[in-house]
């Protein structure tokens, strides 16, 4: 069976490393590749799939567009994909999509809870894209009654804000400026590029109990480096690899029907990142 991660850009993706490690650990002779698909090429790619394909992982820029593309014809759209307004997982049978799901949301919950067992009454998400929506909803799943979205362009955050506000707990959602608005709550989630993390932003996150940096490459980002230096004072750092591994394990299970071997997949991801860093 064949699976792949689709995106643009895609060369940096660790998903093939994780899923292939999972296949080896589970004794499955499956294939998993990275395929570069431009934002307007997803429909054509899906139309060309045959019965040998079982699963697709989606990253930028396809998470939101995929849901609208497959929803009229797919057998099942999960509640969490509808809630987030985005799908990062497509399961196929006989070349057709039968399930559109979002594993970012439960993956983010699992990533935080693996490293932090304290209360979450409020949180801040830096950014306003599809990942901001999924992680904002994850904060609500963790107990947040209010979520602040701080974005470089507030207009871009409106779709994410609407998605988070749809959570059954009916959280209060506020859109603010990434440049100068305060960071509030027990958890701050960064979905913005490392280049957007200036000294002022890092300083505003310094007192937050949990810093959740969804990037894993480049690493460490300024926010991650600051949080890592502060772990002795009690600040918790949740990294992008944590999120990637937990959501990939869920994808693995949806694609294969086999329990995801988390330790093997995490170890493969850690080794791949260490190799990249050593290579400069």
Quick one: tokens of 239?
A: 């990294």
Catalytic residue among 63, 167, 204, 266: 63
End-to-end CA distance of the chain: give it in Å, rounded.
34
Q: Quick check: helix, strand or coil at residue 195? A: helix
Quote the CA–CA distance of 225 and 211 in Å, as a whole number: 10
Helix or strand holding residue 133 (H, E): helix 130-141
Quote the CA–CA distance of 170 and 97 in Å, as a whole number: 31
Long-range contacts of 37-43 (CB under 8 A, 24+ apart): 37/6, 37/7, 37/8, 37/10, 37/62, 38/8, 39/8, 39/65, 42/6, 42/66, 42/69, 43/69
Please state the separation of Cα 211 from the chain's center in Å: 15
In degrees rounded to 5, what are phi and psi of residue 114? Answer: -65, -30
Q: Which of 67, 60, 109 is nearest to 87 (CA)?
A: 67
Quick one: tokens of 185?
A: 């709550």
Quote the CA–CA distance of 267 and 9 in Å, as a whole number: 24
Is 63 catalytic? The answer is: yes
Q: What share of the chain is helix, strand, coil (3-state, %, to 5)?
A: 45, 20, 35
Quote the CA–CA distance of 280 and 278 in Å, as a whole number: 5
Please list the active-site residues.
63
């Amino acid at each position: 069976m064949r699976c792949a991660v689709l995106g643009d850009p895609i060369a940096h993706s660790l998903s093939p490393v994780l899923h292939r490690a999972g296949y080896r650990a589970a004794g499955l002779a499956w294939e998993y590749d990275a395929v570069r698909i431009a934002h307007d090429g997803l429909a054509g790619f899906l139309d060309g799939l045959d019965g040998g394909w079982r699963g697709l992982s989606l990253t930028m820029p396809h998470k939101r567009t995929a849901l609208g593309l497959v929803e009229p014809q797919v057998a099942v759209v999960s509640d969490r994909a509808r809630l987030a307004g985005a799908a990062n997982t497509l399961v196929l049978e006989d070349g057709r999509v039968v399930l559109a799901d979002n594993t970012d949301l439960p993956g983010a919950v699992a990533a935080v809870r693996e490293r932090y067992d304290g209360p979450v009454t409020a949180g801040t998400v830096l950014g306003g894209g599809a990942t901001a929506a999924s992680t904002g909803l994850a904060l609500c799943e963790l107990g947040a009654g209010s979520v602040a979205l701080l974005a470089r362009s507030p207009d871009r955050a409106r779709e994410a804000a609407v998605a988070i506000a749809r959570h059954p707990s009916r959280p209060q959602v506020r859109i603010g400026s990434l440049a100068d608005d305060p960071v509030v709550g027990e958890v701050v989630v960064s979905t913005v590029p490392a280049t957007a993390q200036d000294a002022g932003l890092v300083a505003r996150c310094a007192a937050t109990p949990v810093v959740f940096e969804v990037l894993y490459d480049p690493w460490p980002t300024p926010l991650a480096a600051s949080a890592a230096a502060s772990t002795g004072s009690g600040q918790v750092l949740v990294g992008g690899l944590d999120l990637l591994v937990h959501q990939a394990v869920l994808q693995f299970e949806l694609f294969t029907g086999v329990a995801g071997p988390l330790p093997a997949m995490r170890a493969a991801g850690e080794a791949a990142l260490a190799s990249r860093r050593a290579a400069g």
